[in-house]
A = this chain, B = another copy of it.
């Protein structure tokens, strides 16, 4: 067995591929790109990634939900576990509207860069390496998000996922067939031995603390609810304060309550991102307010506590203001704890390469949280300038991108050894 110092990551090639993929679906004005899952532009992105997989002579497989896998075979017999249960790397290449060029693309293309390092050195891994690009991570057109990895991990039946109706009325399965990515493989058939996902942080912590590498030890639980407040419209000039049933004020009171809850907790994050009031007229007390609540916490008990306190506050507010309040659960994922052994390896690789590093929590959802249901998993983060993502201004310095990919390569080499 050779030492892994013989493997060299081609950073320039990785950066070039990020730029090339980022030009597919480019927005006319805003400097971003839009590759909504299963659109023509996303098909073009898939085609490009598959072409790059074939350039590397990978075995390309598509599953029934459209997840794309490129596998570098191991130097082992077919019967060996190391052939059939690969180390999996990956992420996704679909985007939100007017997105940056990194996000999921970075994890997929860094996976290809790792495989390329093997190819260019002419060495084979002892365990197969599979690079995956999961379908519809963003959930812009079809709900839920992280759908491809969720189906892959058995959390959603593939036929149910294929029957999903999009916000444009289309059926996901039809669109998948239309773009030519309705594969034959059953989701989950390539069972990963381990899974590692490299990603930009999408938050401000690494930059703020001037740390190079994030060793992501867990991923927050997410609770999304839609809250509907039904009050009474009335004249703003003639209705005394104590006779009001102001749905807009109740929404505002919830927002200020949640801010206090978040500050007190220290770990819970709370956001009202969407809010609409009716009739939305300057001199009419709002009759109705519909808003969403996004609660997150790395600890399930604390997340449940936040949900309970919110529910209590809604009951109190309904009584105090004389309004009706209904809530609807939209999304609920428990926190995910990543694999301790993988975390140690990532930390050791970052240290060996001389990069400052810290354990941290992922605030966003990622495919890794789904794959963690079926295989030991972990994530590696690189800094995001200003914490900005889902935006053309999303940015990570080139050398930071290459450093992250080098940590990934180092981890892979340690886990698959060389032939």
Cβ-defined contact, B282 with A388, below 8 A: no
When distances are taken between beta carbons in the complex, the residues of chain B under 8 Å from A275 are 248, 275, 277, 280, 286
- A241, A270, A362, A390: most-surrounded residue (chain B CB, <10 A): A241
- Which residue of chain B has the shortest Cβ distance to A321 in the bound complex? B259
Q: Restricting to A220-273, which residues have a CB under 8 Å from any CB of B?
A: 220, 222, 224, 233-241, 243, 246, 248-249, 251-256, 259, 262-263, 269-273
Residues of B within 8 A of A205 (CB): 238, 240
Bitwise interface map of A from 345 to 369 toward B, beta carbon under 8 Å scored 1, else 0:
0000000000000000011110000
| CB-defined contacts of A237 to chain B, threshold 8 Å | 202-203, 220, 222, 269, 294, 296, 362-365
Query: Are the C-beta atoms of A273 and B283 separated by less than 8 Å?
Result: yes
Q: Which residue of B lies closest to A242 (CB)?
A: B263
Q: Which residues of chain A from 340 to 394 have any CB-CB distance to chain B below 8 Å in the complex? A: 362-365, 387-391
- Smallest Cβ distance from A87 to chain B, in angstroms? 27
Distance (whole angstroms) from the CB of A338 to the closest CB of chain B: 16
This chain: how many copies in the complex? 2
Report the bound CA distance from A75 to B34 in whole Å: 80
On chain A, the number of residues with a Cβ less than 8 Å from chain B's Cβ atoms is: 60
When the two chains form the complex, which single residue of B201, B234, B236, B253 contacts A256, counting CB atoms closer than 8 Å?
B253
**With the chains together, A378 CA to B304 CA distance in Å?**
59
Within the complex, which residue of B235, B292, B362 is in contact with A390, where a contact is CB–CB below 8 Å?
Answer: B235
- Considering only residues 265-313 of chain A, those with a C-beta below 8 Å from chain B are 269-277, 280-286, 292, 294, 296
Q: Is the CB of B277 within 8 A of A282?
A: no
Q: How far is the CB of A323 from chain B (nearest CB, A)?
A: 14
Give Cα A210 to B248, complex, Å: 30
Q: Give the top 3 A-B pairs by smallest Cβ distance, nearest first.
A: A203-B238, A252-B255, A238-B363
The 12 listed contacts between A and B (C-beta, < 8 Å) are A202-B237, A204-B243, A220-B237, A235-B387, A238-B363, A238-B364, A241-B259, A241-B263, A241-B269, A248-B272, A274-B281, A274-B282
Binding site for B on A (CB under 8 A): 201-205, 208, 220, 222, 224, 233-241, 243, 246, 248-249, 251-256, 259, 262-263, 269-277, 280-286, 292, 294, 296, 330, 362-365, 387-391
